[in-house]
Amino acid sequence: MESFLIKGGVPLHGEVTISGSKNAALPIMAATLLTDEPCVIRGVPHLSDTHFMAEILKSLGAEANFHNGSLAIRAKKIRGYADYELVRKMRGSICVAGPLLARLRQTRISLPGGCVIGARPINLHLKGFEALGAKIKIDGGYVDASAKKLAGSTMFLGGRAGSTVLGTANVMMAATLADGVTVIESAACEPEVVDLANFLNAMGADISGAGSPTLTISGVNELHGAEHEIIPDRIETATFAIAAAATNGEVTIKNCRADHLRAVLDKLGDAGVSIRQSGDNLAVRRGKRLRAVDVTTLPYPGFPTDAQAQMSALLALAPGISIITERIFESRFMHVSELARLGADMEIEGPSAIVKGGRPLSGAPVMASDLRASAALVIGGLAAKGQTQVNRIYHLDRGYERMDVKLRKLGARIRRVEEE
């Protein structure tokens, strides 16, 4: 396995360009299964997750080829069985179930894998499929879904932690080819759901209300091929903004959507970070002094859970006491003990982490537990004095395109090495 070696203490300076959104790309890739015509998706980031999804599509019978920054997919003849050995590696793979059910009226898919950050059941996905008329059976780690026909229905998809992003995407895709009108109440409002709806509409679907808690899908007889540009990755944008602030640097972040990041930008401003927007660029630099702030993760447009770990690393440097409360996933503080190895003073109390900030960080070997925890440890290592080794960076490669290369262009002393 590979790791990052980081010699910290160097402020980041320069420009970085944000890649396409991983969380938008995966369901959009899955949506190409809804038609037998060619689709072209531009801006798909080169990540282990997107390449895994391409392999899953190929295993289902589709053609999928990356070329010059675009991904061409044609699912002319497909089968409904998704193999465990591929699906187990990535939770996002569950989003092929909706398109397969819609097009073939049946699917058999393994229960998915992914980062270990807490329970993420797919019961709301299945509830939505059943509301459309599908019969569901779970056996031997597989989900079998079948229906003679799918019929539009009104359903509520709210869960314990709010709306479900992948569940909304999955049911929305299945409903595009159902008879009649489907209304999803408590739908996820995330920009990635809007991006998927825009792609589906470009394919000939009839979807309204994307970005609001009520989605309306009027079923059509068939969908056709389409071209689409993936939105910029808002979590990568947040990560580089936080890294610039943590290292006392000054970075211009290009190709980003500030309107997708209002909660993060607001909290960074409260923490003493200067942010100036110019079109699709953000200029980020730390003010004279960081300030402690309280953060609570919530469904969009609230503060994203995917930026919580990175914000923790920044607040470890801010004098005073910050309280970070996690309302989405119950096991998303696995980075806390590793940041403590760098000198952060953080304690977990129930759903919150208490951060006593302001202590200098010093380099140490640390172990990444999941994708966003990995990013937090990289930020901590960049801000720390001395050398930090971040192990198990395969987590990072799931969600950040060439992160080490981008950081080096900003002046970071970071290199990829084989773990000893």
The residues annotated as belonging to the active site are 115
- Identify whether 301 is preceded by a cis peptide bond (ω within 30 of 0): yes
| Residue whose token pair is 């910029």 | 232
Q: What is the 3-state secondary structure (H, E, C) of 44-84?
A: CCCCHHHHHHHHHHHHCCCEEEEECCEEEEECCCCCCEECH
Alpha-carbon span 21 to 238, nearest angstrom: 12
**C-alpha dihedral, 357 to 236 to 255 to 53, nearest 10°:** -170
Residue among 407, 399, 403 nearest 26 (CA): 399
DSSP string, 226-264: -EEEPPB-HHHHHHHHHHHHHTT-EEEEES--GGG-HHH
- The torsion angles phi and psi of 398, rounded to 5 degrees, stand at -70, -30
Q: Are strands 162-163 and 158-159 parallel, antiparallel or unpaired?
A: antiparallel
Burial 396-415 (b: 16+ CB within 10 A, else e): bbbbbbebbebbeebbbebe
**C-alpha dihedral, 313 to 314 to 318 to 320, nearest 10°:** -50
Q: What's the number of CA atoms in the CB half-sphere (13 Å) around residue 172?
A: 38
Length of the chain: 420
In this structure, which amino acid lies at residue 16?
A: V
In this structure, which amino acid lies at residue 219?
A: G
Helix, strand, coil percentages (3-state) for the chain, rounded to 5, are 35, 30, 35
